[in-house]
Amino acid sequence: MWMESLQDLFFFIDEEGVFYALDLGGTNFRVLRVELGGKDRGVVHQEFAEASIPPALMSGSSDALFDYIAEKLASFVNDEERIYEQPAGKERELGFTFSFPVMQNSINSGTLIRWTKGFSIDDAVGQDVVVEITKALKRKGVDMRVAALINDTIGTLAGGRHSDPDVSVAVILGTGSNAAYVERAQAIPKWHGPLPKSGEMAINMEWGNFRSSHLPLTEYDSAMDAESLNPGEQIFEKLISGMYLGEILRRVLLRLAEEACFFGDEIPAKLRSPFILRTPEMSAMHHDTSPDLKVVGDKLKSVLEISHTSVKKRRVVVELINIISSRGARLAAAGILGVLKKLGKDVSKEKTIIAMDGGLYEHYTEYRKCLESTVFDLLGDATGTSVVFEHYVDGSGIGAALIAASHSLYLDDKF
Ligand code: GLC
């Protein structure tokens, strides 16, 4: 089942002023202050602060999570009061990037359908997350209005398209994974509302929840899914995204230890600990170029307490990493090809920019190279050069500020 949300976002105005963004999509969140300089100047200045969500809050209560976030927002605003003064009578306006499946009801309201990426806060499901954050902001004394609620894919698409109109697809590869694209409104049979002026709409695919009997699921995937917080959900995401690649590797190594005494007679105790092997560690091992695979040896020791591994064993570990990471990257590439095909961009000579963001894409070079080369292989020579990948750093935060600006209450001041 694919979740889609449709928004008429692309009426960017040449707004000037300061807007805020709150970007919550994983274990870290960011608050941003973005200064827009009006027509032709775009984003003239931005500042941000980042904080991580304490693990206990990922499965606590809705109030506890939103209070924590509102507190950080309060101290960000207090800090900046020294450098920036909000004009009297004008409320601060916020674009809220909330990167979980939401049933969007309007530009600034939406109910949480379910959590993904390791969050599990039952009393938030079914609630309007804008109402929740607004109540928390009030409790913490922050005077701020949520002007727009968006997803990270939509933010990246909007931020990318604002700087280059050839951006028509956005893909996030981070803790989770998802894609969004720009579609002609007339080509969307589900849309019964008024047609947007631009004639275009953004579609958030929630592709992480795609599943099909054609997906190459192994017993490791099935076991990981069954033991996860959201069994049966986000199956595509569990094959391709950063939250899960390291965990798949751990499961394979454990099996090797159990059935082939790969690490000696004893099974290393740490190998039994779910999610202990994170994707950044797996990536560091994958990129190890030292002749004796020193990084692999060091990581096995520091993370799993497995010492004295032979170079031969380390090579096997790297080969496994390569298999798991290229499977993920190639499946993600297949997803991207599907979107390009839907848009007819797989046969078009017109330039298409795919706006990319997320820690997995940014930091895991081998994964990124495999993803991009697979897309080009699948496209063949005909369109190879018209499709371009671009990394939009902070696209989702900036996109949220831009969309907040285009839905500002104070637009009438100027027009
Ligand atoms: C998960 C979320 C989705 C988000 C993606 C990338 O799949 O459900 O909304 O866009 O992660 O952060």
- 14 and 68 in one domain? yes
The protein residue whose alpha carbon is closest to atom 8 in ligand 1 is 100
- 372 and 320 in one domain? yes
On whether residue 202 sits in a domain, the answer given is no
On whether residue 90 sits in a domain, the answer given is yes
The protein residue whose alpha carbon is closest to atom 12 in ligand 1 is 176
On whether residue 181 sits in a domain, the answer given is no
Q: What are the pLDDT tens digits along the chain (415 aa)? A: 344 555 666 555 667 789 999 999 988 899 999 998 877 777 888 899 999 999 999 999 999 999 999 999 999 988 876 666 777 778 899 999 999 999 998 999 999 999 999 999 999 999 999 999 999 999 999 999 999 999 999 999 999 998 899 999 999 999 999 999 999 888 888 877 788 878 888 999 999 999 999 999 999 999 999 999 999 999 999 999 999 999 999 999 999 999 999 999 999 999 999 999 999 999 999 999 999 999 999 999 999 999 999 999 999 999 999 999 999 999 999 999 999 999 999 888 889 999 999 999 999 999 999 999 999 999 987 655 699 999 998 888 888 999 999 888 876 544 3
- 401 and 345 in one domain? no
Residue 152 among the catalytic residues: yes
pTM: 0.94
Q: Does the beta carbon of 230 lie inside 6 Å of ligand 1?
A: no
pLDDT value for 7: 60
Distance from the alpha carbon of residue 234 to the mean position of ligand 1, in angstroms: 9
Interacting residues of 186 by C-beta distance below 8 A, sequence separation 6+: 195, 199
- For ligand 1, mutation pick of 116, 181, 228, 237 (most atoms within 8 Å of CB): 116
On whether residue 203 sits in a domain, the answer given is no
The helix/strand count (H/E) of the chain reads as: 12, 13
- For ligand 1, mutation pick of 100, 157, 210 (most atoms within 8 Å of CB): 100
On whether residue 102 sits in a domain, the answer given is yes
Distance from the alpha carbon of residue 210 to the mean position of ligand 1, in angstroms: 12
- For ligand 1, mutation pick of 117, 120, 205, 394 (most atoms within 8 Å of CB): 117
Residue 99 among the catalytic residues: yes
Distance from the alpha carbon of residue 180 to the mean position of ligand 1, in angstroms: 11
- 133 and 72 in one domain? yes
Distance from the alpha carbon of residue 138 to the mean position of ligand 1, in angstroms: 27
- 84 and 214 in one domain? no
pLDDT value for 8: 60
Distance of CA 45 to the CA centre of its chain: 23
CATH number of the domain where residue 75 is located? 3.30.420.40
Distance from the alpha carbon of residue 100 to the mean position of ligand 1, in angstroms: 5
- 371 and 227 in one domain? yes
Distance from the alpha carbon of residue 172 to the mean position of ligand 1, in angstroms: 8
Per annotation, catalytic residue among 63, 114, 198, 255: 114
Cite the DSSP H helix spans in 287-310: 294-304
Q: Does the beta carbon of 364 lie inside 6 Å of ligand 1?
A: no
CA distance 129 to 127: 6
- 345 and 318 in one domain? yes
Q: Does the beta carbon of 168 lie inside 6 Å of ligand 1?
A: no
Number of domains within the chain: 2
- 120 and 53 in one domain? yes
On whether residue 150 sits in a domain, the answer given is yes
- 366 and 313 in one domain? yes
Q: Are 77 and 92 in contact (CB under 8 A)?
A: yes
| Containing structural domain, residue 316 | 167-176+210-350+352-385
Per annotation, catalytic residue among 5, 62, 99, 177: 99
Residue 114 among the catalytic residues: yes
pLDDT in tens, 294-317: 999 999 999 999 999 999 999 999
CA distance 169 to 158: 10
pLDDT value for 88: 75
Q: Does the beta carbon of 153 lie inside 6 Å of ligand 1?
A: yes
- 400 and 376 in one domain? no
Write b or e for each residue in 73-87: b if 16 or more Cβ atoms lie within 10 A of its Cβ, otherwise e: bbebbeebeeeeebe
pLDDT in tens, 210-250: 999 999 999 999 999 999 999 999 999 999 999 999 999 99
